[in-house]
Every structure is written in structure tokens, then in C-alpha cells.
A and B are shown apart, each in its own frame.
Chain A
């Protein structure tokens, strides 16, 4: 690949350059990322399980203990986001911190903090769902579709 890109037609030039970029670009450390996603994601799940057991021991039913556990995790994630720690954990944990419910809490609290400077209504209110919004929309739409399928084919 020593050919001068300038001498190539536009489309070829883009392709050749793309190839060059791929060669130079550092590769993501997939194995390490997957490992840490597993460890951190697993850790969050264990913490959830511990709370779930505690709440059940306190006499809550299965459903109520689940709800209480989710709220606790959401609270903790919000707290860690507020303390500026969640993004540090996510840097290592990646998907392991984004996929659990804590990631969802983080994606709500982060914009809330960020856009506070633009006021309560047009800042926090309007932009609270900038990242969580799509998750909700497509989550709910998927639920509708599954619900419909369940209704017709159960």
C-alpha cells in the first residue's frame, strides 16, 4: 500500500484510506473488556441478590422484595453518579455497568446533573430522558409486540 491516494478516484481513495485507518487504529482489548464487564456486571447482580435476600428475610414477598431491591440499586447508582464515581466504574466495566438497572439510573441522573445549569424545566425536565428515552420507547414497543404475539399465539 504505497500508492499515492491522490492519484485514485474518490471512491477508491476512501476505501484505501479506510483500510489504512483500520491498520493503524488500536484494537479494542475485547477479552479484557468482556472479562471486566462480566466481573463488574456480576458484582452488581450479586449486590442485587444480597439486597433481595435481605428484603425477603424482612418479610417482603417475592414481588415486593424485587421492587425494593431494584429501587435500592437505582438509589445506589444515582448516588455513585452524583459522587462522580459511576463513570469511573463504567470505564472499566463497560456493558457490565450499562446493562443492569444501575446503568439506566445513571443515564437518567447524569443528564439531570448536566443540564441543571439550563434550568429546571428546559434543562432537567426536557433533557432528563435524552439517553434513557430511546431505551424506554423501544422497551415499551417491544413489550407491546410481545404482548400481541402472546395474545394471539398462546
Chain B
């Protein structure tokens, strides 16, 4: 017998849809100059944020986002049954070290840039499953910490290719609760790892677009909904041309979403900011969802969205050993 709260192959539905009680965002200076600047709660002055290292700066951003979200919900860390978080750094040190300070029972996640939606999906499952009353979820990334781990030292003189995306510096957190006022998470679609043979680590959108398309198509198939059920499909960090790829792939699968589909990476920077293809990183989808999108939902301009965070599951070692880039995309439905 199929699991009682499962729809189709990969989608779960929530009997009592968990509430997004509050959210908070902090971003770096570059994001603070972008078109979504007004939607963020805090913009830090420089990439170090008063710390000795970039890693510590990233950690501090995640910590403050978490604290801000907790405070806004009118809660304290003691109220939380569980915290779910992750980031891009080896051994997810940002999330682990923040969890050390907060003292909330913690499950660390790694889904690369898909971590935000992964944490929201799992948090919602914990709550609707009756295992938690309050769950704290969040994710962070930092341009400099990601660059030095995955690519080159930041001061290294390199010419980034035009299809390259820029890792977003920022952190976002969300408080999920069993009851209360706010938008609700009604469904989640857990992605499969998809690899269509793309191997260029400077071109992660190409690796991730098939995963995004797969999860979106699977979600529509599982729920039996047509694309116009949603006001907006939002992918995490495919950037400008990754979005184009996803649209084409979905067209092949028989879904036309182009008119109601945007990508966080494609809207977080303006073309003048010279990031080439747009934004990427765990924080990209996290800060846009917790900021801009939730605000649009609260303002009534969006009613139902399907957010799909995309992650490229590569490591510098796997790339050097000639492996292609596996990718994943997890989706959550947020309804006003």
C-alpha cells in the first residue's frame, strides 16, 4: 500500500500544512546593491562583516538570520524541536557552528544549493508527521568561501566565462510551525539525482536545469495539476540561460511554463552588476524566497508558488577526477 500522505512517485502532501511563521534574510554588499535590495532585512557592509575570516562572516550571517527569524516569531531557541540547516562548505561548518551556539536539536543537511527547499520539505514533514511543533530551517553561502573552496583564490586574475554564475553572499532562515498565521507549505516534491553528462564546473546551470525540469514535471504529474494552478514557478539558481534550458526541457515534456516561471539567480542581480549569468549558491534561493517571494505572498500578489531549489552535487575532487556533475532539485509548494 502506498504511504498515506504520498501523491504519486515523489510528492508528499501535508494534512495540516505547516505555517511559515516568520523569515529573515541577510545579504552581502553586492546583493544589497541589486534590484531586490529593499526586500532584504539586513545588508552587511563588507564581505568580512567584522570577522577575521570569510567563513566566520558567513557563520555570523546565518546565526543572525536564525536569531532574527526566531525573534520575529516571538519565540526563543528553547521552543524549537529541531533545526535543519546546511551550506556549501566542507562538513557544512556554517550550519554546524551555528547549531553549536543555538543549542537546538540539529540535523545537518547537504543538498548543495538545493538545501533551503530540502530543509523546508523535511521541516514540514517533521511537523505534519507530529514530530515537531516548531522547526527552524535555513541556509547560507558566501561568494568568497565558495570561490576558495570550489574554484580559485579570490584575488587570482581569471576571466570568468559568460555562462558563469556568481555565488550569493547571504543567509536566510525560516520558522515553520504546526499552527499560526502565515503562508503554508502544502506539498513537497523530493528530487532525484539527475546527470545528463555536463562536466564543466564553471557551468553549473547546465548541469542543474535537467534536475529542475524533472522535479517540476514530476510534481505536476504527481499532483495532476496543470501549470496554471500556480502563479509562479521559481527555480533556485539556474541564472539567465539555465532558466532558458529548463523552459526548453519542460516544453519537451509537454509543459509550457515560460510565462509563469522565474529564477532567483536571474533576478537577484541587475545586468549592470556584471555577474554574467546571474546568482547561485545556497543563499540565492534562500534569501529570495524568505525575502521577495514571501513578501509578495503576504501582499497578496502571489497566491500559490512552486519553489524549486537546484543543487549541483559536485566536489573539486570529483571534477578533477573527470566525473560529470550530478544535480538535484527539491520543490515545495507555498500557498497564501
Residues of chain A touching chain B, judged by Cβ–Cβ distance below 8 Å, are 2-6, 13-14, 17-18, 20-21, 24-29, 33, 81-82, 84, 86-87, 89-91, 93-95, 97-98, 103, 106-107, 109-111, 113-115, 117, 130-131
Name which residue of chain B comes closest to A27, CB basis. Answer: B162
- Taking the closest CB of chain B, its distance from the CB of A106, in whole angstroms, is 5
Which chain A residues lie closer than 8 Å to B159 at the CB level? 33, 90-91, 93-95
CA distance A81 to B249 in the complex (A): 43
* Nearest chain A residue, comparing its CB with the CB of B213: A5
Of chain A, the residue at the smallest CB distance from B55 is A117
Complex contact A117–B52 (CB within 8 A): yes
Inter-subunit contact A87/B156 (CB<8 Å): yes
Q: Are B52 and A87 in contact (CB under 8 A)?
A: no
Within 8 A of A (CB), among B232-252: 241, 244-245, 248-249, 251-252
Count of A-B contacts judged by CB separation below 8 Å: 103
B161 at the interface (CB under 8 A from A): yes
Please tell me if B58 contacts chain A, counting CB pairs below 8 Å.
no
Q: Are A14 and B197 in contact (CB under 8 A)?
A: yes
Query: How many residues of chain B have a CB within 8 Å of chain A?
Result: 33
Question: Are A90 and B249 neighbours in the complex by a CB distance under 8 Å?
Answer: no
- Given the known inter-chain contacts A13-B196, A17-B197, please indicate yes or no for A106 contacting B53, CB distance below 8 A: no
Main secondary structure of the interface of B (DSSP, over half): loop
* Interface membership of B157, Cβ < 8 A: yes
Q: Which of B155, B161, B210, B241 has the most CB of A within 10 A?
A: B155
Q: How does the 8 Å CB contact mask read for B152-165 relative to A, with 1 for contact and 0 for none?
A: 11111111111100
Interface residues of B in 187-217 (CB under 8 A from A): 196-198, 203, 206, 210
CB-contact partner of A110 in B154, B210, B241, B248, under 8 A = B154
Contact status B197-A26, CB under 8 Å: no
User: Within the complex, what minimum Cβ distance (angstroms) separates A30 from chain B?
Assistant: 11
Known: A6-B253, A110-B152, A117-B52. A25 touches B241 (CB 8 A): yes
> CB-CB < 8 A to A117: which residues of B?
52-55
A84, B157: Cβ atoms under 8 Å?
no
Q: Please give the distance in Å from A86's CB to the nearest CB on chain B.
A: 5
Partner of A114 from the list B52, B154, B158, B254 (CB cut-off 8 Å) is B154
Known A18-B198, A24-B244, A90-B158; contact A110-B153, beta-carbon cutoff 8 A: yes
Who on chain A is nearest to B200 by CB?
Answer: A21
Q: In the bound complex, what is the Cα–Cα distance between A6 and B203 (angstroms)?
A: 22
Residues of B close to A110: CB separation below 8 A: 152-157
With beta carbons under 8 angstroms apart, the residue of B155, B196, B203 that contacts A87 is B155
Q: Using CB atoms, name the residue of chain B closest to A77.
A: B157
List 17 additional A-B contacts (Cβ < 8 Å) besides A110-B157, A117-B52: A2-B252, A5-B249, A17-B197, A17-B198, A21-B198, A26-B241, A81-B155, A87-B156, A89-B157, A90-B157, A90-B159, A95-B159, A97-B157, A106-B156, A110-B155, A113-B153, A114-B155
Q: What is the distance, in angstroms, from B275's C-beta to the closest C-beta of chain A? A: 12
Interface string of B247-272 (1 = CB under 8 A from A): 01101111000000000000000000
A74 to B118, CA, bound (A): 48
Instruction: Flag if B241 contacts A24 (CB, 8 Å).
Output: yes
What are 29 A-to-B residue pairs whose CB atoms are below 8 Å? A2-B251, A4-B252, A4-B253, A5-B196, A5-B210, A5-B249, A6-B253, A14-B197, A21-B206, A24-B244, A25-B241, A26-B162, A81-B157, A86-B155, A87-B155, A87-B158, A90-B156, A91-B159, A93-B157, A93-B159, A94-B159, A95-B159, A97-B157, A103-B157, A111-B156, A113-B155, A114-B153, A115-B153, A131-B153
Q: Report B-chain residues with C-beta under 8 Å of the C-beta of A103.
A: 157
Q: How far is the CA of A26 from the CA of B244 in the complex (A)?
A: 12
Smallest distance from the beta carbon of A13 to chain B beta carbons, Å? 6
Instruction: Indicate if B148 sits at the interface (CB-CB under 8 A).
Output: yes
B206 and A106 contacting across the interface, CB-CB below 8 Å: no
Question: Which 3 A-B residue pairings sit nearest by Cβ, starting from the closest?
Answer: A90-B157, A14-B197, A114-B153
For residues 135 through 157 of chain B, which have their beta carbon under 8 Å from a beta carbon of chain A? Answer: 148, 152-157
Residues from chain B with a CB closer than 8 A to the CB of A84 are 155
A5-B252 in contact given A17-B197, A33-B159 (Cβ < 8 Å): yes
Q: Which residues of B contact A114 (CB under 8 A)?
A: 148, 153-155
